[in-house]
A and B are shown apart, each in its own frame.
Chain A
Amino acid sequence: MSAPDWITVCAVADIPALGARRVRRPDGVDIALFRAESDRIYALLDRCPHKGGPLSQGIVFGASVACPLHNWTIRLDDGHAQAPDEGCTPVFAVKLEDGQVYLRRDQLLAPIAALKTASCDAACADAA
């Protein structure tokens, strides 16, 4: 059993290498769960800060993803858009244990408005 705070989502192997899966959130907007090189796992809100594109559908490279709508590059570790584009998308904590991927229960259930302020500074939240 994992700590009560964390919820099992899937196995690392359930995510395609250099790809992503969508994780449903009760509040509506999904989480994009990424598997980057060397099985590093990242989780972002599945919404590009530019025009809301689903980042889970983008091409994953290095520690970034290219949004499928207008090719903005978003960093997987902090959700920031690559300069000169400006904006950021909320990041979710990820825990890996025995090949299983865990997300935090409170973040999974949090209403969308609370997410923005929790993990992005005010300027970014506005842009998002």
Chain B
Amino acid sequence: MNKPKLVLIGNGMAGVRALEELLKLAPELYDITVFGAEPYPNYNRILLSPVLAGEQTVEQIILNPLSWYADNGIILHTGKTVVEIDRVTRIVRAEDGTEAPYDRLLIATGSLPFILPVPGKDLEGVIAYRDIKDTEAMIEAAKVHKHAVVIGGGLLGLEAANGLTLRGMGVTVVHIMPWLMERQLDEVAGKLLQKSLQERGITFRIGAQTAALLGGEQGRVQAVQFKDGTEIPADLVVMAAGIRPNTALAASAGLHCDRGIVVSDTLQTVTDPRIYAVGECAAHRGIAYGLVAPLFEQAKVVANHLAQFGIGRYTGSQTSTKLKVTGIDLFSAGNFMGGEGCEDIVLSDPSSGVYKRLVVKDNKLVGACLYGDTVDGSWYFKLLREGRSVGDIRDKLMFGESHLGDTGHQGQSKAATMADCDEVCGCNGVCKGTIVKAIKDKGLFTLEEVRKHTKASASCGSCTGLVEQILMFTAGGDYSATPKKKAMCGCTDASHQEVRDAIREQHLLSIPEVCAKLGWRTPNGCSSCRPAVNYYLISTWPHEAKDDPQSRFINERSHANIQKNGTYSVIPRMWGGETSAADLRRIADVVDRYAIPTVKVTGGQRIDLLGVKKEDLQAVWRDLDMPSGHAYAKALRTVKTCVGSEWCRFGTQDSTAMGKALERATWRMYAPHKVKYAVSGCPRNCAEAGIKDVGIIGVDSGWEMYVAGNGGIKTEVAQFLVKLKTADEVLEYTGAFSQLYREEGWYLERTVHYVARVGLDYVKQRIVDDAEGRKALWERLQFALQGEPDPWFDIDKAQVDTRQFIPIVPITEGAPA
């Protein structure tokens, strides 16, 4: 009957998060006991600065109230420091003699402030800045004392200085290094930061070395003395010169420590597999992480093991710093200092307080340091993590991802200046105030959590930067995102790329096979992974892997587009946007016959019949007697054309004929996302080829080919790929590019994002430079399309389950009225 016993030492954010994750997976598995040295339940340590600044109270930053422990049957010992781990009898002991036996032990003792070993460090009025007690001491001191000295010009020190200034003290920051936050900022940004903090009334002693703290008559600190003999008055000294992993307890229990308690990828200590360590006290592959996101990733893995699933692995995190110091936006990541072999791209606009430095090495972005305008921080971080070549976007790099056609949030780029009622997410109608409230009320920390709870940035994602900013200054200053790779969904740890690779390398042919080989946690996936895996299978092994209609979104099962009231829209194919009197008559008859309420001309030069009842779909298709337009599918949609040289007095090429040929060659082509082509007959570009996945523009001497444009969420202008001479070349190059995207794109990744990921240079190399490879790609596409059915007419071959069109009508005769 006895459950195994789990003991947690350290009642802080990392340890308690691990418990929360564990309770989600296996709520009944353990009897849990928690020891915390502080007299509080788990609180958000990152928010101590707003408490110090008087913006929040201690109550507001509590993450897990005492009732949470009680509700989950957890025994909580607050105010009890564990002083001994007996690994032989498996018992931990606290200072006051409280004991708890364990079967599994989780150490999350966090870190300790580094106290400068100078004379006077033990005087009254000398404190660190680490917990609620320190914060309260500062608040009390500010009530009666005047002069504060903060030793250390890092994030913590500056936040302390800011809070104490707001509470009315005169504050001097002593910083031994040549500029502030030297681990996160370069010299220019550090100096800009210093200037703006000076404007807020903070004094700095940069490069000064503290020699001693001098006491007064009552034994309280009175002054700080420097190596050069000068002194400044001080009634309060805050040591903020760094932190060290708190490993003393673990070391005394014989656990191997080296810059932290050394743990494996399963977060088990290398010495004793019964004992786990997470958070700032743990050293994983030589790194002790101090940011929230890595700690939470660790918490997930440790919970997975404690729940006896045994499949989670922590492989490290890449971190960036995105800070909010007293209303100043900062971002840095990677090697922002540059050095040998590095080039800097710099934008400096001191009067508007903006400075950006991007460090490029071997054509890759290796570091970034942003001051004053950080909205593109997450984009730079993504480029940095992925290590993709930036040669082709070098000239645009500095201006960020969001400089062009960013819609849905009124062009805002600074969340701080937005009012609570301003809309952040235009897709889901989420205002800033709603996001802030959700973060505060529900204790959210990560972008994913905010998306889940508020839907902000969960649809098109163009407001992600804004949501991250809001998260940053609501949840705390050191938010950082970053698993090294992103799992496809909650069912698996595998990324899209890993799934694609496995399907190709291991010749996998069905969804159950993929789930089994790649360790899916769920019996049959979810609505997010199954359509992706299904697409990967049929695009990798055409004519071999069998399509699974039940793993497709409803539109691709009913071959029509579901509308908000459950009816469907039907768009027949009109080759190249050309139609005829006969087609139009049939369409008109169908509209009358089935009482279709709305008929609309689409942006893709076709006709949309809206409000068709599902029961009528098959008859509508039959009576239209036109091919499926695939307007409902992740597939080739439309080929938009202008009238071209056939009629137009400016036309240089027959764009309509070219468009029709392209459409006939590639229709029925499924892809990671929808695909649109356009062909214009001259550079006036009436077919808007500049914002299509493939845009062809006729010129007198042939055709120009542009790729990866997008007229959607973010207007992206297509990029020039190659100049072609003949219509056959246009077919081959367009087909080859489409096939490359079909083989390598991730599900729901448009060509614009695919090309952004792999780089235009790579696409040029595969499509333009490698003639043989291009021909092979084009042949593979033709092979895949061979015999591909039109689902409106070849119903059996397309596996259209016609039972869906007919509702079951139960016989209820004899029923009461």
Question: Which residues does A use to contact B, with CB under 8 Å?
Answer: 7-10, 14, 16-19, 21-24, 26, 30, 33, 37, 51-54, 57-62, 64, 66, 68-69, 71, 73, 84, 103, 105, 108-109
CA distance A53 to B530 in the complex (A): 21
The verdict on B117 contacting chain A, using a C-beta distance below 8 Å, is no
Asked if residues B524 and A61 are in contact (CB atoms below 8 Å), the reply is yes
Q: Is the Cβ of A7 less than 8 Å from the Cβ of B564?
A: no
CB <8 Å contact, A18 and B803 = no
* Contact indicator A18/B550 (Cβ below 8 Å): yes
Q: Least Cβ distance of A63 to chain B in Å?
A: 9
Q: Known: A19-B550, A51-B564. Is A9-B801 also a contact (CB below 8 A)?
A: no
Query: What are 20 A-B contacts with C-beta separation under 8 Å?
Result: A14-B808, A16-B801, A17-B550, A24-B807, A26-B812, A54-B562, A58-B527, A59-B553, A59-B554, A61-B524, A61-B527, A61-B530, A64-B526, A66-B526, A69-B564, A71-B527, A84-B442, A84-B453, A103-B810, A105-B815
Chain B 790-817 interface 0/1 with A at a Cβ cutoff of 8 Å (1 = within)? 0000000000010110011111100110
- Which one, B551, B558, B809, B812, contacts A105 given CB within 8 A? B812
Return the CB mask of B514-531 against A: 1 if under 8 Å, else 0: 000000001111110011
Q: A23-B808, A61-B522 are in contact. List 12 more A-B contacts (CB 8 A).
A: A21-B804, A23-B807, A37-B523, A52-B566, A53-B566, A57-B562, A59-B526, A59-B552, A59-B553, A68-B553, A84-B442, A105-B815
Cβ of B551 and Cβ of A24 under 8 Å apart?
A: no
By beta carbon, the residue of chain B nearest A109 is B815
A68 touches B554 (CB 8 A): yes
Question: Which single member of B523, B531, B807 contacts A30 (CB below 8 Å)?
Answer: B807
With CB as the reference atom, state the residue of chain B lying closest to A46. Answer: B566
A3 to B17, CA, bound (A): 52
Contacts of B453 in A (CB 8 A): 84
* Residues in A neighbouring B522, C-beta threshold 8 A: 61-62
- Binding site of B, secondary structure by majority: helix, strand, loop or mixed? loop
Asked if residues B810 and A9 are in contact (CB atoms below 8 Å), the reply is yes
**How does the 8 Å CB contact mask read for B523-567 relative to A, with 1 for contact and 0 for none?**
111110011000000000000000001111110011000101110
**Residues of A contacting B452 in the complex (Cβ-Cβ under 8 angstroms):** 84
Q: Which 10 A-B pairs have the closest CB atoms?
A: A66-B527, A59-B527, A22-B807, A57-B554, A54-B566, A68-B554, A18-B550, A24-B809, A84-B453, A23-B808
Give complex CA distance A21, B810 in Å.
12
Contact between A10 and B808 (Cβ–Cβ < 8 Å)?
yes
A53 to chain B, nearest CB (A): 7
Which residues does chain B contribute within 8 Å of A62, judged by CB atoms?
Answer: 522-524, 526
> B265-316: which residues lie under 8 A (CB-CB) from chain A?
none
Which chain A positions have C-beta within 8 A of B442?
84
Chain B residues whose C-beta falls within 8 Å of the C-beta of A16 in the assembled complex: 549-550, 801, 803-804
Residues of B within 8 A of A61 (CB): 522, 524-527, 530
Q: How many A-B residue contacts, CB cutoff 8 Å?
A: 94
> Contacts A16-B803, A59-B531, A66-B526: A33 and B808 contacting too (C-beta < 8 A)?
yes
- Cα A8 to Cα B808 in complex, Å, equals 11
Interface residue count on the B side (C-beta < 8 Å): 34
Whether A14 lies near B810 (C-beta < 8 A) is no
For B552, list chain A residues within 8 Å (CB). 59
CB-based nearest A residue for B455: A70
Complex-state Cα separation, A61 to B521, whole angstroms: 12
Inter-subunit contact A108/B554 (CB<8 Å): no
Contact of A21 among B558, B564, B808 (CB under 8 A): B808
Q: Chain B, 131-162, contact with A by CB distance < 8 Å: what is the 0/1 string?
A: 00000000000000000000000000000000
Chain B residue at minimal CB-CB distance from A36: B524
Chain B residue nearest to A84 (CB atoms) is: B453
CB <8 Å contact, B558 and A57: yes
- Verify B566–A108 contact, CB threshold 8 A: no
Contact A59 B530 (CB under 8 A): yes
Task: Using CB atoms, name the residue of chain B closest to A10.
Answer: B808
B412: min CB distance to chain A, Å: 25
Q: How far is the CA of A53 from the CA of B527 in the complex (A)?
A: 16
Please give, as numbers and ranges, the residues of chain B lying within 8 Å of A54 by CB-CB distance: 562, 566
Instruction: Establish whether residues A73 and B807, one from each chain, have CB atoms under 8 Å apart when the complex forms.
Output: no
With A21-B808, A22-B807 known to touch, is A59 a contact of B566 (CB < 8 Å)? no
Query: A69 contacts B562, CB within 8 Å?
Result: yes
Residues of the A chain whose Cβ atoms lie less than 8 Å from the Cβ of B807:
21-24, 30
Please measure, in the bound complex, the distance between the C-alpha atom of A10 and the C-alpha atom of B553, giving whole angstroms. Answer: 25
CA distance A62 to B520 in the complex (A): 12
CB closest residue in chain A, given B453: A84
Whether the pair B812, A108 counts as a contact (CB closer than 8 A) is yes
Complex: A19 Cα to B800 Cα, angstroms:
13
Taking CB atoms and an 8 Å cut-off, the chain B residues in 407-466 that contact chain A are: 442, 452-453
Chain A residue with Cβ nearest B438:
A84
List of A residues within 8 angstroms of B816 by Cβ: 109
Complex CA gap A123/B564 in Å reads 24
Task: Report how far A67 CA is from B566 CA in the complex, Å.
Answer: 11
How far, in whole Å, are A23 and B564 apart by their CA atoms in the complex?
A: 20
Instruction: Tell whether, in the assembled complex, residue B803 and residue A14 are in contact, meaning their CB atoms are under 8 Å apart.
Output: yes
How far is B803's CA from A64's CA once the two chains are assembled, in angstroms?
A: 21
- In the bound complex, do residue B808 and residue A7 qualify as a contact, i.e. CB atoms below 8 Å apart? no
Q: Are B803 and A58 in contact (CB under 8 A)?
A: no
Give the chain A neighbours of B526 by CB distance below 8 A. 59, 61-62, 64, 66
Query: Are A21 and B803 touching (Cβ within 8 A)?
Result: yes
Closest chain A residue to B809, Cβ basis: A24
Please, which residue of chain A has its CB at the minimum distance from the CB of B615?
A22
CA distance A66 to B489 in the complex (A): 14
Check A23–B810 contact: CB distance below 8 A. yes
Among residues of A, the one whose C-beta sits closest to the C-beta of B568 is: A57
Min CB distance, A50 to chain B, in Å?
A: 11
CB distance from B426 to the nearest CB of A (A): 15
A121 CA / B811 CA spacing, docked (Å): 30
* Shortest distance from the beta carbon of A2 to any chain B beta carbon, whole Å: 12
CA distance A105 to B565 in the complex (A): 27
In the complex, what distance in Å separates the CA atom of A24 from the CA atom of B524?
A: 28
CB-defined contacts of B811 to chain A, threshold 8 Å: 7-8
Q: How far is the CB of B27 from chain A (nearest CB, A)?
A: 15
B562 touches A68 (CB 8 A): yes
- A58 / chain B contacts, CB cutoff of 8 Å: 527, 554
Distance between A80 CB and nearest chain B CB, rounded to angstroms: 16
Which listed residue (A24, A51, A60, A84) contacts B810, Cβ 8 A? A24
Knowing A8-B810, A51-B564, A61-B522 are in contact, say whether A19-B801 is a contact too (CB < 8 A).
yes
Residue of B nearest to A7 (CB): B810
B524, B566, B804, B815: the one contacting A37 at CB < 8 Å is B524
Closest to A51 in B: B564
Q: Which of B557, B558, B565, B807 has the most CB of A within 10 A?
A: B807
Name B454's closest neighbour in chain A (CB-CB): A84
Question: What B residues does A18 contact at CB under 8 A?
Answer: 524, 550-551
Would you call B812 and A109 a contact (CB within 8 A)?
yes
Closest to B552 in A: A59
Expressed in whole angstroms, the minimum distance between the Cβ of A21 and any Cβ of chain B is 6
Determine if B808 and A57 form an interchain contact, defined as CB atoms under 8 angstroms apart: no
Q: How far is the CB of A31 from chain B (nearest CB, A)?
A: 9
- Residues on B with beta carbons closer than 8 Å to the beta carbon of A53: 566
Q: Does B551 contact A59, Cβ atoms closer than 8 Å? A: yes
- Once bound together, how far apart are the Cα atoms of A37 and B511, in whole Å? 14
Please, how many angstroms separate the alpha-carbon atoms of A103 and B810 in the complex? 9
Give A57 to B632 CA distance when docked, in angstroms: 14
Cα A104 to Cα B490 with chains together (Å)? 36
Assembly CA distance A106 to B146 (angstroms): 78
Q: How far is the CA of A105 from the CA of B815 in the complex (A)?
A: 8
Binary per-residue interface labels of chain B (765-803) against chain A in the complex, 1 for a CB within 8 Å, 0 otherwise: 000000000000000000000000000000000000101
Bound CA span A17–B548, Å: 11
Q: Please indicate the chain A residues that have their CB under 8 angstroms from the CB of B553 in the complex.
A: 59, 68
Residues of B within 8 A of A9 (CB): 808, 810
- Chain A residue with minimal CB distance to B562? A68
CA distance A7 to B552 in the complex (A): 32
Given contacts A19-B550, A22-B807, A60-B550, contact A7 B527 (CB under 8 A): no
Residues of A near B523 (CB, < 8 A) are 37, 62
Whole-angstrom distance between the alpha carbons of A84 and B444 in the complex? Answer: 12
User: Nearest chain-B residue to A19 (Cβ)?
Assistant: B550
